[in-house]
Structure 1
């Protein structure tokens, strides 16, 4: 059985509404941005219902013929929604966007809107912790010293971009000098070209070196001494790399 966690009042309202009506043979649709947990929510509420994707019109039509209860994901991908008959069936649909409002009103007794992660800050820490454990296991890294507040989060694609943020952060923490050299080698092998490649790609080393030094020492004077370069040279490089 797929589990779904949320402390969001908006999501809890959707769950309560489904629980009140889940015994009725009526159809419902959950609309919201991609990767907000719509499918996971539907699976957790109706664990025994078959699941099909709107990416395959024929598969959906065949499932409707044999099932009284059905979950249809990617509903917006269906090529011919007008032919669907949900009469006397319990159909739970998820979609990334509304599509034809009149058709939606005709097909569904209940229309729910799934909030994005940016609208559910109370759920973000839970997901971060979940992804930290998952990434640490996958990458074989000790997660005990990871502070959630240090992870630069990207919520533009909801859980997908959040998960990538966590994985990238943990992967960077676990890398050693040899790993970094290997990453740079792969990048340069693909992108090195032109007539001024050395100068063009020098920033891959210089910019993070200066940024990390400024954060660590908090002083251009001290950093110039640590790096063994003239302070004016350091200022010039800060300007060249647009470092704040």
Structure 2
């Protein structure tokens, strides 16, 4: 069975709505941004229902003839929504946006709007921790621990960019000197060109060195001593690399 977790009140209300109408042959649609768990919720609520994508109109029409209960994902991609006959069927559709509102109103008895992960901080923490566990296993980092609160999460594309944020963080914080050298080597191998490349790419090393030093020591004077450079030289480099 598909697993689904939520502490979000709006999503819990959607689940309550489905539970109240689960035995009725009525159709419902969940609308919301991509990668927020619409399909996972539909499969969790109706684990035995066949699933088809709205990207294939013929497949959807064939599935409607064969099944009285059906999950249709990407409903907005159907080219001819008006032709569908959903009478006496339990259809659970998901869509990233509403196309023709009148058509949606005519086809579905219940229309649910699912909030994005930006609006569901409790769920975001839970999903983040799942991705940490997944990434530790996939990257073979089971012997290392990572603080979830230290991860700078990107929720611009919901769970898709959230997962990427977790993987990038774990990889960056588990690299040793050899890994860093290899990463820089391959980057330069693909990008090195021009007539002043040494100066152009010097910031690749200097900027993170100075930023890390300022965060660690909190003092330009102390950092200049640690780096063994003049304080005025350090100030100049801070200005050159636009470091706050």
Aligned to 1:228: 228
1:103 aligned residue: 103
Q: Which residue of 2 aligns with 1:14?
A: 14
Helix, strand or coil at the partner of 2:63: helix
Runs of 5+ consecutive residues of structure 2 not aligned to the other structure: none
Partner of 1:33: 33
1 CA distance for matches of 2:159 and 2:229? 44
SS at match of 1:174: coil
| Alpha-carbon distance in structure 1 between the residues aligned to 2:241 and 2:222 | 19
Per-residue CA deviation, residues 158-184 of structure 1 (Å, 9 max, x unaligned), is 111111111111111111111111111
Alignment of 1:126-165 (within 5 A): 126-142=126-142, 145-165=145-165
Q: Which moved more, 1:41-50 or 1:227-236?
A: 227-236
Alignment of 1:141-220 (within 5 A): 141-142=141-142, 145-220=145-220
Structure 1 CA distance, aligned partners of 2:9 and 2:16? 10
Distance (Å, rounded) in 2 between the aligned partners of 1:80 and 1:12: 32
Gap runs ≥5 in structure 1: none
**Cα separation, 2, equivalents of 1:57 and 1:202:** 54
SS at match of 1:202: helix
Q: 1: CA distance between counterparts of 2:167 and 2:233?
A: 36
- Counterpart CA distance in 2 for 1:152 and 1:114 is 24
Moved more, 125-134 or 196-205: 196-205
User: In 2, distance between residues paired with 1:235 and 1:200?
Assistant: 19
Q: Is the 8 A contact 1:133 1:143 kept in 2?
A: no
Say if 2:118 is the partner of 1:112: no
CA distance in 2, matches of 1:202, 1:24: 66
Does structure 2 retain, via aligned residues, the 8 Å contact 1:132–1:143? no
What TM-score do the two structures reach when normalised by structure 2? 0.97
